[in-house]
Amino acid sequence: MRRVSACMVFLLLIMTSAAARPQPAPDDKVWADFVGWLHTMPPITQVVSVLKLYGKELAGKGVTREDAKLTMDRVLRMMRDRPDAWRPIFNRIYTTSGTTFNPEPTPLLVRAVEGHTPGRALDVGMGQGRNAVFLAMKGWNVTGIDLAEEGLAAARAQATRAGTSVNALLADAATFDYGREAWDLIVITYGPGFTGDPPFAERLKTALRPGGLLVVERRSWESRPTPSRGAGSSMAITSSSTTSSCATRSS
């Protein structure tokens, strides 16, 4: 009888301990806390700085290293899964006082379009518009998409200062309708991670007109293949910090 009573007491203690343990906050609460912090964080110019700073923020609030890691893992997962995840991050980057606009187009794009007759161009993840404005000044009919309103506003302003215009659209690269044989040029510079996925690469290939050009520049640590490989790569340039590809669609 005493043994049974002892077992019951032991089980009761376990149940009480489990009930007293703090339960993880819902995803919406974790995300709301993260977005709320974005508006108060120090000036940043790169996405990689965001999570490092947020980790320090959690540590400063007394969150244990283990719990902070769990929270960061959840934030990372939601950054991948939530359609609107990157909008507040890039809006914050584009409005921070430490951000400086680089008006120069990427050298890869400059080389890639040299000698090509201007046509319809799409800049995916246009940001502040340095590549889009360059193309517009070269006579291309440019549409640029981005999910950050502040980036689009900066691109429009830059185009106006340059005496040209771009069709700046608020859109998510994952759900945007790229069409079929709609573009003579598609540019992706440090775009979202899924740009290397085969299904997305096929969408881009379908969207290009015969003879159309696809120019992709990505971080070298992204291990997945670039979309250009699905379209038949005609030129590839690599360095220690970036992986750049240029491909032409055959008819």
pLDDT attached to residue 230:
34
Q: What is the C-alpha to C-alpha distance for residues 140 and 142, in angstroms, rounded to an integer?
A: 6
Classify strands 120-124 and 208-219 as parallel, antiparallel or unpaired.
unpaired
DSSP secondary structure of 85-146 = THHHHHHHHHHSTT-----SPPHHHHHHHTTPPP-EEEEET-TT-HHHHHHHHTT-EEEEEE
| Residue 23 exposure: Cα atoms within 13 Å on the Cβ side | 4
Average pLDDT, the chain: 78
Q: What is the C-alpha to C-alpha distance for residues 126 and 134, in angstroms, rounded to an integer?
A: 12
pLDDT score of 70 more than 60: yes
Confidence band, pLDDT 50/70/90 cuts, at residue 51: confident
pLDDT score of 122 more than 70: yes
Q: Which residue has the tokens 């290293």?
A: 65
User: What pTM did the predictor assign?
Assistant: 0.72
Mean pLDDT on 80-85: 76
pLDDT tens digits, 175-223: 899 999 999 999 998 777 666 678 888 999 999 999 999 999 875 544 4
pLDDT attached to residue 55:
87
pLDDT score of 169 more than 50: yes
Positions of CATH 3.40.50.150 in the chain = 107-248
Q: Which of 40-49, 57-66, 195-204 is predicted least confidently?
A: 40-49
Q: What are 94's two structure tokens?
A: 């584009």
Q: What are 158's two structure tokens?
A: 């830059």
Confidence band, pLDDT 50/70/90 cuts, at residue 45: low
Q: What is the C-alpha to C-alpha distance for residues 41 and 57, in angstroms, rounded to an integer?
A: 9
What homologous superfamily is domain 107-248 in, according to CATH? Vaccinia Virus protein VP39 (3.40.50.150)
Q: What is the C-alpha to C-alpha distance for residues 58 and 69, in angstroms, rounded to an integer?
A: 10
pLDDT attached to residue 246:
52
Do residues 87 and 147 touch, judged by C-beta distance below 8 A? yes
Q: What is the C-alpha to C-alpha distance for residues 160 and 143, in angstroms, rounded to an integer?
A: 15
